[in-house]
């Protein structure tokens, strides 16, 4: 597998010269399987640039196939879906997995987002690509040679938030975002889910000494402690705060690398940045 970051910010997109190195688009990560499988984790505004890039491939001829795994339906995780050409090109196939909620299905959520009140694309019926929606469950499923496992990691009844684990040839990527570890049960579930992963992508917009209203996110320290306990090889801090500049992210990573080194930990720590391509 390969992993590439296309959107790494949380809450809102972040333009400006101080955010160019890490990027200002919201959540989107692409996984490429050894057999050519394409899987997008969330469809924030980073999905727009991903889609433009895919249009240089078979998607331009309407011969592309893409699976989307949606953790939850907050704006920063779904806003990019209707914009790129890949979703408007007949013949392309989109398989969308995500959570239903108390107000309706995932399909209804996306269709509502494409209301003429908000969008010039009037509903899913006007999307040219063939698309299907599948509610998530904890039963693992296959996408080509990749095994996908999903796990709910929140107690929000109105809008459940799911984590994903993707495995191929004994190597795993785990993607956890927008979770708050409010009790040991959620923590232990997350540790077990991430156990032994080669790469953990974990939202961490703020540190414990930053007192902000962050709408239920874990802290940088939570992500590091989880990665250490789960014996993860490499951790990427993700869902960066929109006010966190490139220089501040550099300093943040340096600070916690020093902490890890002082305790003899072997965890590799970095901050996710748009365009970074990794072999898993």
Predicted confidence (pLDDT) per residue in 83-127, tens digit: 899 999 999 999 999 987 656 688 888 888 888 787 777 778 788
pLDDT at position 112:
82
Distance, in Å, from the CA atom of 138 to the CA atom of 104, rounded to the nearest integer, reads 19
pLDDT at position 103:
66
Ranges under pLDDT 50 in the chain? none
> What sign has the CA pseudo-torsion 3, 134, 123, 11?
negative
> C-alpha angle 216/154/268, rounded to 5°?
75
108: Cα within 13 Å, side-chain hemisphere: 8
The domain spans of the chain are 2-279
Domain 2-279 architecture: 4-Layer Sandwich (3.60)
Closest Cα partner for 71 from 196, 241, 217?
217
């Amino acid at each position: 597998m390969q992993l590439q970051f296309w959107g790494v910010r949380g809450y809102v997109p972040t333009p400006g010269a101080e955010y160019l190195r890490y990027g200002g688009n919201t959540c989107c990560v692409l996984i490429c399987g050894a057999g050519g499988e394409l899987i997008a984790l969330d469809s924030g505004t980073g999905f727009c640039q991903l889609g433009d890039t895919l249009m240089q491939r078979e998607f331009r001829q309407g011969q592309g196939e893409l699976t989307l795994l949606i953790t939850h339906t907050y704006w920063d995780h779904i806003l990019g879906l209707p914009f790129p050409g890949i979703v408007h090109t007949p013949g392309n196939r989109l398989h969308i997995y995500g959570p239903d909620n108390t107000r309706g299905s995932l399909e209804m959520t996306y269709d509502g987002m494409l209301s003429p009140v908000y969008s010039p694309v009037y509903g899913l019926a006007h999307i040219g690509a063939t698309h299907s929606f599948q509610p998530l469950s904890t039963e693992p499923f296959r996408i080509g040679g990749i095994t996908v496992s999903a796990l709910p990691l929140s107690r929000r009844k109105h809008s459940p938030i799911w984590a994903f684990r993707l495995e191929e040839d004994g190597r795993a990527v785990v993607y956890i975002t927008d979770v708050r570890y409010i009790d040991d049960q959620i923590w232990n579930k997350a540790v077990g889910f991430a156990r032994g992963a080669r790469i953990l992508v974990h939202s961490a917009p703020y540190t414990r000494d930053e007192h902000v209203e962050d709408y239920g996110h874990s802290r940088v320290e939570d992500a590091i402690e989880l990665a250490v306990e789960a014996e993860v090889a490499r951790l990427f801090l993700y869902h960066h705060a929109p006010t966190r500049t490139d220089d501040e992210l550099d300093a943040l990573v340096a600070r916690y690398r020093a902490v890890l080194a002082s305790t003899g930990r072997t965890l590799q720590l970095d901050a996710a940045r748009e365009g970074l391509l990794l072999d898993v």
